[in-house]
């Protein structure tokens, strides 16, 4: 069965094709080629079912019910409800007078228009019958279920996330209890994981919606959510074997355990293949040695590790690989629990510029004993899952940037409307209008690119780096600029912690660094363009 998203896209394309293939006299045009579909949407594909837990939560919190438990179905209710009646529109248009005629020499005198003979003009309905009408398509919420998800997460963020944000950021503490409710109440800790393991079975668009809405209220809380639900849960779901998924996914999707990923090191960030943590094969187990740095969810408190991690380590030595170039690529992935021998918390990293309500830590592996069955995927096969996960991570980091920017725009609009200077609201001054209008335009452009990229993202494959790099490059820079303008609009008030724009700016800055630096995205994009397109052939 085709997904609702795919069906909506096909309906849209068929309507465009029919309209393009019909002339004004109702006869086919010379060319009947298919009209191009403006949005890049995946082809038909069976979609996983929506979590029953999520549906129940939606029903109880929104007061509405759903007769279907499928996130994408083969019909689109909104299309039928909002479909244009072209015949009615044409009839109404025929009743309107033509534009007034102004006789030469008397421009200030109006005359009744001459009667217009519409008999030779075809009805608009000859261009597209009512059932052929182009269905409305909302890029940001393509289906009713996407819209419902956005409303529910927005309500949760407003009522539960927003009230705690300032206090937890000031205390530099992570709200673990609130995080658990995302699993126990909303079923959102495995958003793109099959229901078989307790997940919600969402797509990349839904993941963007969740991250955008949570970041509007508390980007730091959302960052920890990302590290758990994407860097651990989604990563393991796509790359682990059945036993590993059965063992670890239920606990992490329910919120009983919090997970993270260990990739960056003190001397290896952007140069991720330069990591020094190594794993040595000892027969029935591996010994991991090294340090991981800047690990989100690395600790629950100042002295307690997170529960479970996916850790990348070099395995060239254990395989006897001596060639330096090949050795850099010999990366393997391991599941490490906090109680494993030789695994400890190096430090909780404090006094960060931003994202203070998201715990960041250094992890230490001192001959950490890891069972052989905790190797995820193939030995030396960690690069593909690493790169695939980075692609989707960059997309949702861009979604976080869009959520931050939307909040900053709302804040500066409100302040500029209420702040009086020189006897009138400051939003009447051109400089303030420039800050607000430019911010809105940049935000809308970034958000449009974000959801276009998300809709074309296949969660089951790698090799989609160019667009994920592009949207993170654009959106993260946009968010920092917007927050900077918001502080400027607020003046001195924007420079103190009591006003949200100061925290938003600090949080937004990290997104230009984490998940790939701006400079890394630029390098990747140029390299991918050079290898995949000709001098004059950019992608359609």
pLDDT tens string 241-279: 999 999 999 999 999 999 999 999 999 988 888 999 999
d(CA 128, CA 20): 9
Strand pairing category for 375-376 and 360-371: unpaired
Are 288 and 363 in a shared domain? yes
Per-residue pLDDT band for 118 (boundaries 50, 70, 90) equals: low
Single out the residue in 223, 257, 291 at which a domain terminates.
Answer: 257
| Contact status, residue 532 vs residue 526, Cβ threshold 8 Å | no
Sign of the C-alpha dihedral computed for residues 242, 251, 293 and 338 taken in this order: negative
Are 347 and 422 in a shared domain? no
Burial of 293 (0-12, 13-18, 19+ CB in 10 A): buried
User: Torsions phi, psi of 64, nearest 5?
Assistant: -115, 165
Burial of 298 (0-12, 13-18, 19+ CB in 10 A): buried
Per-residue pLDDT band for 112 (boundaries 50, 70, 90) equals: very low
User: What pLDDT is recorded for position 319?
Assistant: 83
d(CA 32, CA 297): 56
User: What pLDDT is recorded for position 96?
Assistant: 39
Q: What is the CATH number of the domain that holds 480?
A: 1.20.140.10
Q: Which of 30-34, 373-377, 494-498 has the lowest mean pLDDT?
A: 30-34
| pLDDT exceeds cutoff 50 at 71 | no
Average pLDDT, the chain: 82
Are 57 and 197 in a shared domain? yes
What is the share, in percent, of the chain residues with pLDDT greater than 70?
74
By residue range, what is the domain housing residue 285?
260-381
Residues with a known catalytic role? 393
Q: Which of 202-206, 424-428, 461-465, 527-531 has the lowest mean pLDDT?
A: 461-465
Are 431 and 336 in a shared domain? no
User: What pLDDT is recorded for position 535?
Assistant: 62
| pLDDT exceeds cutoff 50 at 78 | no
Decide which of 388 and 62 is more confident.
388
Residue 422 lies in a domain: yes
Q: Which of 112-121, 322-331, 427-436, 502-511 has the lowest mean pLDDT?
A: 112-121
User: Torsions phi, psi of 494, nearest 5?
Assistant: -75, -10
Provide the strand spans (E) within 372-494.
375-376, 420-421, 424-425
Are 78 and 175 in a shared domain? yes
User: What pLDDT is recorded for position 461?
Assistant: 77
Are 400 and 519 in a shared domain? yes
Q: What is the CATH number of the domain that holds 79?
A: 1.10.540.10
Buried-exposed string 229-261: b where 16+ CB fall within 10 A, e elsewhere = bbbbbbbbbbbbeeebbebbbebbbbbebbbbb
User: What pLDDT is recorded for position 537?
Assistant: 72
pLDDT, tens digit, 9 for 90 and up, residues 287-321: 999 999 999 999 999 999 999 999 999 999 988 88
Tally of domains within the chain: 3
Decide which of 121 and 358 is more confident.
358
Are 57 and 205 in a shared domain? yes
d(CA 195, CA 201): 6
DSSP state at residue 234 = I
Quick one: which H or E segment has residue 392?
helix 383-418
Closest to 310 (Cα-Cα) out of 397, 226, 198, 233: 233
Per-residue pLDDT band for 534 (boundaries 50, 70, 90) equals: low
User: What pLDDT is recorded for position 446?
Assistant: 98
Q: What is the CATH number of the domain that holds 320?
A: 2.40.110.10
Quick one: which H or E segment has residue 451?
helix 430-455
User: What pLDDT is recorded for position 135?
Assistant: 60
Provide mean pLDDT across the span 347-368: 98
Are 321 and 246 in a shared domain? no
Per-residue pLDDT band for 322 (boundaries 50, 70, 90) equals: confident
Are 506 and 413 in a shared domain? yes
pTM to 2 decimal places: 0.78
pLDDT, tens digit, 9 for 90 and up, residues 127-162: 445 455 556 678 999 999 999 999 999 999 999 999
Burial of 382 (0-12, 13-18, 19+ CB in 10 A): buried
Are 81 and 221 in a shared domain? yes
pLDDT, tens digit, 9 for 90 and up, residues 426-441: 999 999 999 999 999 9
User: What pLDDT is recorded for position 120?
Assistant: 54
Provide mean pLDDT across the span 441-450: 98
Residue 128 lies in a domain: no
Per-residue pLDDT band for 460 (boundaries 50, 70, 90) equals: confident
Q: Which of 6-10, 36-40, 252-256, 473-477 has the lowest mean pLDDT?
A: 36-40
| pLDDT exceeds cutoff 70 at 79 | no
Burial of 339 (0-12, 13-18, 19+ CB in 10 A): exposed
Per-residue pLDDT band for 538 (boundaries 50, 70, 90) equals: confident
Per-residue pLDDT band for 11 (boundaries 50, 70, 90) equals: very low
Q: 383-418 and 219-226 are packed helices; what angle lies between their axes, rounded to 10 degrees?
A: 170
User: What pLDDT is recorded for position 105?
Assistant: 38
Are 293 and 241 in a shared domain? no
3 SS3 class: coil
| pLDDT exceeds cutoff 50 at 217 | yes
Residue 431 lies in a domain: yes
């Amino acid at each position: 069965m085709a997904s609702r998203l795919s069906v909506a896209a096909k309906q849209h394309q068929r309507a465009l094709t029919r309209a393009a293939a019909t002339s004004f006299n109702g006869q086919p045009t010379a060319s009947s080629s298919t009209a191009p579909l403006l949005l890049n949407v995946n082809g038909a594909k069976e979609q996983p079912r929506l979590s029953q837990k999520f549906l129940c939560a939606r029903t109880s919190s929104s007061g509405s019910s759903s007769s279907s438990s499928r996130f994408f179905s083969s019909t689109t209710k909104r299309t039928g409800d909002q479909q244009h009646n072209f015949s009615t529109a044409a009839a109404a248009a025929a009743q309107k007078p033509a534009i007034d005629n102004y006789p030469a020499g008397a421009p200030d005198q109006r005359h009744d228009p001459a009667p217009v003979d519409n008999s030779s003009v075809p009805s608009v309905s000859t261009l597209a019958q009512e059932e052929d009408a182009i269905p409305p398509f909302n890029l940001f919420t393509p289906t009713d279920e996407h819209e419902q998800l956005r409303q529910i997460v927005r309500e949760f963020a407003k009522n539960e996330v927003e009230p705690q944000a300032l206090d937890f950021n000031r205390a530099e503490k992570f709200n673990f209890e609130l995080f658990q409710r995302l699993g126990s109440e909303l079923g959102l800790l495995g958003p793109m994981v099959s229901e078989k393991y307790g997940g919600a079975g969402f797509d990349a668009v839904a993941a963007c919606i969740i991250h955008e809405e949570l970041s509007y209220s508390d980007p730091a809380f959302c960052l920890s959510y990302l590290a758990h639900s994407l860097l651990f849960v989604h990563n393991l779901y796509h790359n682990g074997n059945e036993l590993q998924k059965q063992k670890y996914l239920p606990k992490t999707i329910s919120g009983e355990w919090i997970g993270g990923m260990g990739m960056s090191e003190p001397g290896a960030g952007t140069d991720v293949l330069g990591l020094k943590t190594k794993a040595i094969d000892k027969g029935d187990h591996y010994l991991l040695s090294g340090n991981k740095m800047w690990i989100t969810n690395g600790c629950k408190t100042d002295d307690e590790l997170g529960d479970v991690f996916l850790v990348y380590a070099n395995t060239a030595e254990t395989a006897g690989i001596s060639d330096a170039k090949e050795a850099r690529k010999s990366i393997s992935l391991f599941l490490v629990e906090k109680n494993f021998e030789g695994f400890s918390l190096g430090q909780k990293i404090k006094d960060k510029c931003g994202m203070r309500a998201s715990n960041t830590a250094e992890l230490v592996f001192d001959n950490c004993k890891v069972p052989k069955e905790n190797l995820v995927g193939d030995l030396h096969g960690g690069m593909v899952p690493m790169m695939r996960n980075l692609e989707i991570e960059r997309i949702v980091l861009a979604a976080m940037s869009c959520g931050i920017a939307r909040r900053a725009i709302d804040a500066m609009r409100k302040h500029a409307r209420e702040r009086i200077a020189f006897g009138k609201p400051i939003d009447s001054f051109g400089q303030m209008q420039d800050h607000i209008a430019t911010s809105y335009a940049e935000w809308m452009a970034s958000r449009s690119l974000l959801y276009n990229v998300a809709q074309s993202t296949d969660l089951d494959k790698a090799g989609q780096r160019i667009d994920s790099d592009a949207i993170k490059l654009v959106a993260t820079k946009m968010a920092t600029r917007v927050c900077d303008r918001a502080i400027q609009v607020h003046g001195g008030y924007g420079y103190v912690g009591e006003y949200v724009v100061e925290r938003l700016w600090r949080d937004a800055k990290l997104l230009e660094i984490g998940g790939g630096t701006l400079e890394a995205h630029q390098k990747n994009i140029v390299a991918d363009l050079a290898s995949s397109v000709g001098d004059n052939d950019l992608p359609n």
